[in-house]
Amino acid sequence: MAATASSPRQRAVPRTDSRDRLLEATSQLLVERDTLDVSLLDIAARAELNHGLVGYYFGSKDGLLLALLKRDAFKALESLKLLVEADMPPIRKLQLHIAGIIKTYFRHPYINPLINRLQGSGTDSARELSEFFIKPLIALQGQILSQAEAAGQIRAIDPMLFYYSTIGAADFLFRSRGTLPFAFGIDAIDQDLAESYARHVVSTILHGVCK
Amino acid sequence: MAATASSPRQRAVPRTDSRDRLLEATSQLLVERDTLDVSLLDIAARAELNHGLVGYYFGSKDGLLLALLKRDAFKALESLKLLVEADMPPIRKLQLHIAGIIKTYFRHPYINPLINRLQGSGTDSARELSEFFIKPLIALQGQILSQAEAAGQIRAIDPMLFYYSTIGAADFLFRSRGTLPFAFGIDAIDQDLAESYARHVVSTILHGVCK
């Protein structure tokens, strides 16, 4: 609370704006540095705000990281809702959804380490993660699967099994990128590799669930 | 080295036997307790050996865990070699291989956390993991894919993309099992769920790579 009184910047910008700026600065630094170990001072400097505001808005760095994951999850779920409601063949929705997951992992490589950290840090975090992200995600995936099945485009697929196998397939190249230099002589995942991987995963799963 | 001189047990059993007993005791305790945090004292007690022998054979607990992973990887690669050479349709080899990965993850749930720990603990470990496990595994998977393609059973599949997507799909249910109770009301992965998951992943991938 000291930050509230002592920071002249905080009065100069609306609440939502400086909160959003801190989240966006965190996202940028996590992408640039490819690690979750980014200091609050660096985040505040990037956002051009007093670092005391992190405590004020988020409680702690873990609170900030959780809020960032919620921000990104909310955006992803909003896009998926639009896709569910869109006027297009359900199989095309499935294709766009899976490719979209891989694009998200490529552009925001901190999402998986963050989810891992939440899953590993106790049952409360796993519960919270399930509520704000996994349950809504599975419900929306289930709607697309139902639409595709009703349209006769795929066989009956259990949404739970679909969720774990699809997210696992999409995620593993990025999660295991530390092995790429040694196993394949590839230094980093570039746009070309991310796109090849997306084509492979999309094609395998779409062929895999067709009738 | 102190342990060598002070342990009467060590002279009483042949070298390979006590080394293997320590590995097997570690494997059993990791499975039973579902965590990598098992003490050397407990491991030694299970093996009925002096805990100083861990230092003698493996240097440290991390050395013991690495040796355990190598033991399990060696067994898995030996089975896969037999499968590559077996006289059966290549598509059936692919089916048995993928189902076998999931069975291994179900029976030895410590393998993935161990691999994660190795990947996360620096480039030397990622290199070593690539050499003793990932590179041989990809080469063998590549042989099965070539056989299946030559037999006209599947389309041309890049072994690298196949490796990451297949292992990722096989692994994710087990890796994310902390979310099962909250997202699906399922307390633990039992034999039925492991088998359903294997059927789903095998069926999706086999349909997915077919011509």
Q: What is the pLDDT of residues B75-130, one digit of tens each?
A: 999 999 999 999 999 999 999 999 999 999 999 888 888 887 777 666 677 788 88
Interchain pair A169, B173: CB under 8 A: no
Closest by CA to A129, choosing from A167, A98, A165, is A167
Interchain pair B172, A172: CB under 8 A: yes
Cα-trace Rg, chain A: 20
With CA atoms as reference, the chain B residue closest to A119 would be B178
Predicted pLDDT at A122 = 63
Please identify which residue in the block is written with the tokens 């002592």.
A6
**B197 within 8 A of B177, measured Cβ to Cβ:** no
Tell me how close the Cα of A211 comes to any Cα of chain B, in angstroms: 9
Q: Which of B169, B178, B184 sits opposite A168 (nearest CB)?
A: B169
The 8-class DSSP code of residue B154 comes to B
Mean pLDDT of chain B: 88
Interchain pair B210, A209: CB under 8 A: no
Predicted pLDDT at B2 = 42
Q: Which of B119, B157, B184 sits opposite A179 (nearest CB)?
A: B119
Predicted pLDDT at B13 = 53
**Chain A residues lying within 8 Å of B201, measured CB to CB:** 161, 165
**Chain B residues lying within 8 Å of A101, measured CB to CB:** none
B187, exposed or middle or buried, with CB in 10 Å at 0-12, 13-18, 19+? Answer: exposed
**Pairwise CA distance, residues B76 & B24, whole Å:** 16
**Pairwise CA distance, residues B50 & B72, whole Å:** 24
Q: Which of A164, A178, A183 sits opposite B173 (nearest CB)?
A: A164
**Pairwise CA distance, residues A29 & A41, whole Å:** 12
**Predicted confidence (pLDDT) per residue in B37-58, tens digit:** 899 999 999 999 998 999 999 9
With CA atoms as reference, the chain B residue closest to A155 would be B204
Q: Which amino acid is at A81?
A: K
Whole-structure pTM value? 0.86
Instruction: Give a three-class secondary structure readout of A195-207.
Output: HHHHHHHHHHHHH
Q: Which of B119, B157, B205 sits opposite A208 (nearest CB)?
A: B205
ipTM above 0.90, yes or no: no
Beta strands per DSSP E along chain B = none
**Pairwise CA distance, residues B119 & B207, whole Å:** 31
Predicted pLDDT at A3 = 43
Interchain pair B119, A160: CB under 8 A: no
Predicted pLDDT at A118 = 73
* Token reading at A35: 């690690």
**Chain B residues lying within 8 Å of A119, measured CB to CB:** 176, 178-179
The 8-class DSSP code of residue A86 comes to S
Tell me how close the Cα of B87 comes to any Cα of chain A, in angstroms: 26
Predicted pLDDT at A208 = 85
Comparing B208 with A186, the larger pLDDT belongs to A186
Q: Running along chain A, 211 residues long, what does each successive block of 10 average in pLDDT?
A: 45 72 96 89 95 92 91 94 97 96 91 79 77 94 96 93 95 88 91 97 90 68
Interchain pair B201, A166: CB under 8 A: no
Please identify which residue in the block is written with the tokens 């995942």.
A189
With CA atoms as reference, the chain B residue closest to A126 would be B179
SS3 of B123, please?
A: helix
pLDDT band at B203 (very low <50, low <70, confident <90, very high): very high
Interchain pair B166, A169: CB under 8 A: yes
Predicted pLDDT at B34 = 81
**Chain B residues lying within 8 Å of A171, measured CB to CB:** 168, 172
